[in-house]
């Protein structure tokens, strides 16, 4: 499902909520009665639920011509922070293969969802007679996306940077081997999934099943004027102290102007993260980081938190804004000869390490922070200059 969105960038938020739904897989009614001699025969690969997401644009509820088909081909930029909640959904009699020999899954990705698939949060879900391999199948990003008019040198990475998470689930009848009250489904993401504790690979579903609540999606984007024109990807998310190294792409080019693409791709990046207490992530840009950025962390775990570090190629300092107001850096530490370490006391706590030119800030679930330039050049002693002051005195000379 894709929720229709307003075009205005400032309203880039959706809430999608499903309540009290019953979905059946196999039933007594055949898809192909009497082997095709019963009046009809429909042999299709089946799935019950597409991952939901929001977009800037949408389609009419009643499509009047063939151009917008299929309905789930959204052809629009994905929204910034869609919140997807499913309450009391029941999946009944799901087998991995139908009587007609076709694949059947309870969950799949939308094959056109290239940009941002938010966390799918399930509560009080009931699974009745569901086989292990019938729960889900997570697609690989199509290689056909890796062309200049879509995603550039490699496919867009949204299908590799989402997850389904379940709380207070119940299983009865036929049960999957990984059945648990609380569990998660994560994609088989290179540089990430194999390093997450308490996860088991499920090759037949192209995913990992986990009993790991410390998962989330880190969303960030450029707020510069050239966010649709300048590329900074690929970007790497590296968790310190581990071998995690998740490579992500920006959004797809959704503009088509006659025979030409718009060559406009939004510099926005959702990244799946594992963030136990004490986690620190280095966000590594292969292009020059945007001057202005926005960061947001989403999860089903309300206690999820992390420190984010960004290294800059220039000496100009950076500042953190929360609700439009500057958050002061930590106090100067004379012993360390730099601003004090981030202690994880509140969302937005930060420091900029002079000379090394590294911004560090603390981010918690649901908190939105912005990054902006600060007219200062810092040193490893408690001195700083504005840019004009620094260069008027000869700069580094």
- Chunk the chain into consecutive blocks of 10 residues (it has 397) and report each block's average pLDDT, rounded to whole numbers: 43 83 90 80 89 78 68 78 94 93 93 89 97 95 91 93 97 94 97 97 97 97 91 95 96 71 84 97 95 96 97 91 95 83 96 92 97 79 57 57
Q: What is the pLDDT of residue 261?
A: 64
Q: What is the pLDDT of residue 380?
A: 59
CB 276, CB 344: distance < 8 Å: no
CB 14, CB 82: distance < 8 Å: yes
Q: What is the pLDDT of residue 11?
A: 47
Q: What is the pLDDT of residue 6?
A: 37
**Which residue is it, tokens 């002051």?**
389
The domain segmentation of the chain, as residue ranges, is: 2-214, 218-392
3-state secondary structure string across the chain: CEECCCCCHHHCCCEEEEEEEEEECCCCCCCCHHHHCCCCCCCCCEEEEECCEEECCCCCCCCCCCCCCCCCCCCCCECCCCEEEEEEEEEEEECCECCCCCEEEEEECCCCCCCCCCCEEEECCEEEEECHHHCEECCCCCHHHCCCCCCCCCCCCHHHCCCEEEECCEEECCCCCCCCCCEEEEECCCCCHHHCCCEEEEHHHCEEEECCCCEEEEEEEECCCCCCCCCCCCEEEEECCCCCCEEECCCCCCCEECCEECCCCCCEEEEEEECCCCCEEEEEECCCCCCCEEEEEECCCCCCEEEEEEECCCCEEEEEEECCEEECCCCEECCCCEECCCCCCCCCCEEEECCCCEEEEEEECCCEEEEEEEEEEECCCCCEECHHHHHHCCCCC
**Which residue is it, tokens 């560090």?**
360
Radius of gyration of the chain (CA): 24
Buried b (16+ CB within 10 A) or exposed e, 213-225: bbbbbbbbbbbbe
Cα–Cα distance for residue pair 354/352, rounded to 1 Å: 6
State both tokens at 348.
Answer: 């937005």
HSE value, Cβ hemisphere, 13 Å, CA-based, for 373: 14
Cα–Cα distance for residue pair 141/336, rounded to 1 Å: 46
State both tokens at 253.
Answer: 């080019």
């Amino acid at each position: 499902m894709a929720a229709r969105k307003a075009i205005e960038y400032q309203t880039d938020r959706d809430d999608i909520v499903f309540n009290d739904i019953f979905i059946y897989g196999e039933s007594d009614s055949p898809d192909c009665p009497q082997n095709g001699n019963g009046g009809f025969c429909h042999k299709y690969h089946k799935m019950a639920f597409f991952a939901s997401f929001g977009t800037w644009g949408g389609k009419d509820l009643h499509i009047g011509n063939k151009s917008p088909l299929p309905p789930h081909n959204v052809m629009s930029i994905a929204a910034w922070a869609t919140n997807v909640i499913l309450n009391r959904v029941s999946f009944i009699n799901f087998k991995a293969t139908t009587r007609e020999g076709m694949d059947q899954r309870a969950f799949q990705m939308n094959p056109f969802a290239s940009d941002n698939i938010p966390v799918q949060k399930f509560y009080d879900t009931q699974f009745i007679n569901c086989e292990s391999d019938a729960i889900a199948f997570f697609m690989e990003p199509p290689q056909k996306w890796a062309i200049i008019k879509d995603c550039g040198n490699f496919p867009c990475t949204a299908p590799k940077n989402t997850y389904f998470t379940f709380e207070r689930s119940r299983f009865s009848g036929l049960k999957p081997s990984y059945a648990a009250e609380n569990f998660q489904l994560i994609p088989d993401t290179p540089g990430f999934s194999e390093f997450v504790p308490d996860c088991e690979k499920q090759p037949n579903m192209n995913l990992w099943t986990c009993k790991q609540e410390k998962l989330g999606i880190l969303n960030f984007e450029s707020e510069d004027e050239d966010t649709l024109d300048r590329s900074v990807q690929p970007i790497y998310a590296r968790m310190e102290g581990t071998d995690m190294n998740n490579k992500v792409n920006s959004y797809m080019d959704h503009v088509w102007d006659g025979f030409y693409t718009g060559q406009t791709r939004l510099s926005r990046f959702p990244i799946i993260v594992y963030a136990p207490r004490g986690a620190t992530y280095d966000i590594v840009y292969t292009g020059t980081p945007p001057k202005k950025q926005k960061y947001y962390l989403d999860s089903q775990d309300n206690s999820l938190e992390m420190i984010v570090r960004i290294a800059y190629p220039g000496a100009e300092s950076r500042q953190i804004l929360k609700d439009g107001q500057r958050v002061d850096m930590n106090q100067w530490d004379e012993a360390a000869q730099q601003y004090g370490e981030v202690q994880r006391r509140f969302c937005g706590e930060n420091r900029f390490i002079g000379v090394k030119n590294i911004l560090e800030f603390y981010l918690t679930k649901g908190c939105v922070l912005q990054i902006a330039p600060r007219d200062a050049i810092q040193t490893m002693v408690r001195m700083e200059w504005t840019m004009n002051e620094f260069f008027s005195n000869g700069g580094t000379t």
